[in-house]
Chains A and B, each alone.
Chain A
């Protein structure tokens, strides 16, 4: 079974630009979560999508947005990039459904997309 894949793996952008990152979850997984990892702030939750709907949201500005498609693939977009947006962006997938007992579900993480903003 293929794992969570993220594209691209590395990205360099300049301030003011926008960027779109992609995440393909494990087959059958319907929940996709996004995290930002930086040396200063550590791992922080961005948002989570399930069945094309945002279910959870972290404390990030509106420049950070996401969406999920009917095949559960997800994208996140960052507009008007700032230097502080340089980070490793991690995507995680899980079954996430109401019928799945919480205790048996697990998030599986992708390798991340490393974004550098110059």
Chain B
């Protein structure tokens, strides 16, 4: 069974500082990995995803993540935080690809990112 662990339910960074949100996964097969962002009272928006190929994945809004198989990690980073980055971030994994499925995602518990002016 697959699972996702997000270290740190709350992360605070100063505006302009590096953002680092941690995600570790467990999967019995090569996983597909995702980062989603959720703004207050809204649904989830895909930031980026890793399926195959290049392990450094660039997403929207300046975010990127690196798939490290040896560490079973998929940490999300952004070089310089902006006030608009304040939101909740979810890491997700899917290994249910045999059933045509990117549709069954297992999510982490989320990390709430606060930006300090």
Contacts and interface: CB of A to CB of B under 8 A. Distances in A.
Given A43-B107, A102-B32, A103-B51, A48 B101 contact: yes
Contacts of B49: 106
A96 to B, nearest CB: 6
Interface in A84-103: 90, 92, 94, 96-98, 102-103
Contact of A94 (B41, B45, B103, B110): B103
Chain B interface main SS type: loop
Contacts, number: 74
Nearest to A31: B103
In this complex, which of B44, B51, B99, B105 has the most chain A Cβ atoms within 10 angstroms of its Cβ?
A: B44
In this complex, which of B32, B44, B92, B102 has the most chain A Cβ atoms within 10 angstroms of its Cβ?
A: B102
Contact of B102 (A4, A58, A102): A102
Contact of B104 (A56, A105, A111): A56
B96 A4 contact: no
Nearest to A105: B102
B49 to A, nearest CB: 7
A92 B92 CA distance: 14
A106 B46 CA distance: 8
A48 B49 CA distance: 20
A68 to B, nearest CB: 12
Given A43-B107, A106-B49, A50 B43 contact: no
B104 to A, nearest CB: 5
A55 B101 contact: yes
B18 interface: no
A107 interface: yes
Contacts of A92: 43-44, 103
B91 to A, nearest CB: 11
21 contacts: A4-B43, A31-B103, A35-B105, A43-B92, A43-B107, A44-B107, A45-B106, A48-B103, A50-B103, A56-B96, A56-B101, A94-B102, A94-B103, A102-B101, A106-B46, A106-B49, A106-B102, A107-B46, A109-B36, A109-B43, A111-B41
